[in-house]
Every structure is written in structure tokens, then in C-alpha cells.
Structure 1
Amino acid sequence: MNHRQTYPRELEGEYLWSPKKNQNGARNLSYDNMIHVMPGDIVLSFADAAIRAVGVALGRAREAPKPPELGSASDRSETSPGWQVPVRFKELTDPLRPKDHASQLAPVLPARHSPIRASGDVNQGVFLAAVPEPMVDRLTELLAGQVEQIAESITRTTGGSVVDDAAEERILQRTDIGPTVKKTLLNARRGQGLFRVNVERIERKCRVTGLLDRRHLRARHIKPWCICDDREMLDGFNGLLLSPHVDHLFDRGYISFSDPGELLVSKDLNQAVLMSWGIALPRNIGRFSQEQCGYLEYHRVQVFGKSNGGRRGPSSGGPEEPGAGVIGEPLVVRTE
């Protein structure tokens, strides 16, 4: 289905919208796909013969009337609720015309319900389609890193909540664990329940501020909750008790710690922030246990490294930490 006129409105409004059924009341696989979009899914938006934007789904589909800014439609679509998915988009610096790469894309197109024809033209009958992994890899390669850069940028602006929401959805849909275990794992996301109890058995205070009153401390995973397996989600060695402002810096990758306890500071963090919060540099907060060091290595590379990490506190010296790649998310193609 060609929706050229809705492209700028949906990008600006940060959503996808579709009817639930065709005008004749029949089901439409493209519309059904709306309810399968998960938080964190990547959306490639196709308009005017090119992939022009990348989006990240911020939530699941919900019933919603047709947004008035999308203009007139049939009486049925105006009066009947459709599906609306919140998506944050960013336009590509270098759009991709599939027709220019038809020979490379043709071998990896799905046999049925493909959003792109072998000729490289858009399939007008497809509104939204999940694509197979080989097609994901080929499109990502042709877009030359733009998908990863935009997805990471959007995820950062949401504070990582999109990735956490996706992990939570996966837990809720699992059939190998019961509701009690699910609740325990979901409580851990918020630093509550069994996870916090386990952390408090190991950590007694905020290592940076020295605050002992646990009523004002947050239990934070060192290796992010959304990346953990069940054991790691509840492991007390995978957690720190942090004052709220320190928790913010650690969660966003503005700071990290070396195994001996040296405070590491991102190049993106304004030194005035540390000064105003009374965090003097250089600073050592005490050596971590062997069990904690494994999690800290992950944080330094995959969280701190992504936040332009690598600079230690003044006068501390030492090598830079390596950067990190983007954690891949499912890919969905939207045809406009």
C-alpha cells in the first residue's frame, strides 16, 4: 500500500497507524503485523522509491482512531479504530533506492509478502512486513552503518527504556517460567525485590558519595538488566548501591569504574557536573571483588564505551577503553 502523503506526518507525529481490516472487512496481513511490533524493533520507512528514515518502536500497538492529520479516508477507516504504534524516527543522511541495488536484494527477498519486488520496486500491496535475517543483513550493509547509528541515537534519547521494555515483553511471553519467577525478574529491572536484597548483602553504601542510608540509594545493575540472563538479573554481584545522581551517571555510561576502583569519566561529561555534585577527581572507591569485575568489564566496554568513554580522571593516566558496537534489534520494513 502506497502512503506517500502520510510519510512526513507520521515521522513528525512519531507513530505508525493502520486500519485493522480492509474496506471490505477482510483481514490484511500487513495490518495484522502492526500488533506484532515489539518495543525496540527497527522500522525502515519507504517513501518516494527510497528508504528515507529509520525508526525505533517505543511500544506495542494500541487501538486508536485515525489521526486527523492523515487526511480523509473511507468512511469505515474514519469511524472504526485502527492500530497505532509509537515510533521515533530519524531521516537518513543518505537514503537508499532499492531499485539501484535490485540484483543484490533479489536473492534475499522473502518468497511471500515481500515489501520490495525483485525489480527493486515497492510492493504496493504490502504496508508493513517483517523481513528475514538475510534481507536484514543486506539492507544494513547497503545503508553503511546508518541503521546502527540512528538506532543507538534514538535508544539513548529514551534512556534505554525501549530496550528494557523489549526485554520485559520477552519475559512476559515466556512459557518456561511461572508468574512468580516472572514477577521476580521484572522487579529486578526496577532494582527491587530479590535483586536488591542480594545487592545489599554485598554493598553497604554508595561507593562514590559514601551515603549509608539505604532509603535514598538505588540498586543498579552493572551489566544492564535487559542484556542479562535470569541468573545475572538477580545476582547481587551484578549490582551497586548508588545515590540517585551517581546512578544516573552510571546508567547512562557517563562514568564507570576500573577493577581496582578508579573512577572513569566519559569525554561527554561536563566536568562542571562533577564539581557541582562534589565528586572530586581523581578518585578511588575501593577494589571490587572478582565476581564484580566480570560485570564491570562489560559495563566499561558496552555502556561506558558507547558514551564516548575512555578518559580517566585528571592526572590518572592509563589507556583508553575500547568502543562498543550496537546491539542488534529486529528489523521491520514499512512501505510508504
Structure 2
Amino acid sequence: MEDIGGLNNTVGGLRNNIVLPLQLPGLFNGPFTSASKGVLLYGPPGNGKTMLAKALARESKACFISLKPSTLLDIHLGVTNKLVAAVWRLATQLQPSIIYIDEADAMFATRVESGHETLAQLKAEFMQRWDGPETRQDAQVVVLAATNMLHALDPAIRRRFTAAYKIPRPNGASRLAILNKILKKHIAALGTVFFEPTLLNLNPSTGAGQEMIELTKDYTGSDLANLCKHALQAPLREWAGVLRSRAIELDCSMEEVDGAALPACRQASLEDFRTAHRLNLPCNIQSQSNRRVRASL
């Protein structure tokens, strides 16, 4: 979880409510001190819900079972129920376990009379195994779910999530924290600093930090990662152009050119981020632009 930026309160809550009880079951063994049986991560897309789930599984050292409705649904009567029961038996045998359900609204949408019968059976069987008369209260099995549409979840499902964390769109300070995490990870991967010093340890007290806050307004976590990807590739694309020109000059392939004889690749700069921002708008702005275009047609 150390690689996750801008979600300190959520990370702390997950560690205290999930990781510690799973790692120390002998200490957290009371009826009201054990790990929560259901944890829900909700909020707009692209802000780290799935990343948190993966980090939580690694840190807790629990068996991680990623569940999809398509693996459980079957047209034959009773098969879906058996598959759900098998998942819970597996999770109980391998406990501590985390059953992870991404896009939970697709699996646990509000039940209606005209709803799909097989999906209704899946939800009913899952709820019985999760919190029914025969559920073992001492079992270390946690259901972790993520959704972008909290309102679409069935109320009977929502009440079983005794811990819920909103993963909001990052504010200015959180965006800088995420950018710092991404850039430090890039340094660790390369073993060298690949960008100018102004981009190291960005903070609001510097001009570069303030500009990055303004530049990334309305960005989600995934938008920030995409921005860094395009900005950090800019020097490499320029150097590749020099390599191509030298290959044409020598009438050989680029693989045959001695890269050591060429000028060194420059460091990524703040201008690269400005250019990447102009060419790659965040997803929500792209969606608004598409809606305006459709409305004008």
C-alpha cells in the first residue's frame, strides 16, 4: 500500500479494520472486534479502487479470490447455486480469504420482478453463504467489492457491507502525492533520474507544484498515470528520431546504429507535461466534449 498516493485515510482504515484482524486473529477474536465481513469501495472510476484491492490482498497475505458473475452463472437449474457454494467452501478452507468483486453493481443490482432468474438465484445463494443462518461467525472470509454506481446496489447487499470507503476524485494535494509516487516508481525502475529536478518531490510551495495542480485539474488517478506516460515518453521519442535519422544517413537499420555515439537522451521536463496535457485530456472532459458534439448534431 506504500505505492498508493493521495488515499492515506482510506489506506489507514483498511489496515486497521481488515489487515490487522486478518493477520492477528488471536487478538481480534471477539464478536465485535473481528474483521469486517464486507468492505465496499465506491466512487467515480479511475481513482484506485482496484489498485487498493490488490494492495490489500498483498499486505494481508490472504488468499485472494477474484469473482466474476460470468464464472458463476449457468443456464441449468441449481448449477449457479452449487458454484457459489463451492467458492465459499474454497474461501473457508483457505482462510484468511478475500473474495473480491469488481463492478459489484453488475452482480448485485437491485432485484426486480422482471429480473433475470439465474442472477436472482446467484444473489440469494451468495447472501445466504455470506451472512445466513449457517454462516460461521469465526470464519476469516471478507467480501471486498468495488463499484462506480452505489445507488444501483441491492439494499440487502449494501447492509452487509459493514465498512464502506468512498474513493473520491483526488484534490490538488492528492494529485501531487500521486504524481510523486509515479515518478519515484519510474526512478526505481530505471535506476536513474530521468526528469529535471523541478519535477522531484513536487509540493504546493513550489512554482512547478502549483502549475501541476492547475494542469491536472479534474484528473483522476488513471488520468495522472496516462499523463505521466505520455510526458515521460517525449524525450525517448525525440531520441528515437535522432536514431532514425542516423540510420538513414548510414543506410543501415536502427539496431545497427551505435547509440553510444549519439547525443544523450535529454531529461523529461515540465514542458513535456504541458504538451501531454494539451494532447491528452482527462476522461471526464473528453466525455463532456463528446456529449456537446452529439447535442449539436
Normalized per residue, the structure richer in helix is: 2
TM-score above 0.5 = no
- State the TM-score, normalizing by the size of structure 2: 0.27
Larger RCO (CA within 8 A; separation ≥ 6) = 2
Normalized per residue, the structure richer in strand is: 1
Please tell me whether Structure 1 or Structure 2 has the larger radius of gyration of its CA atoms.
2
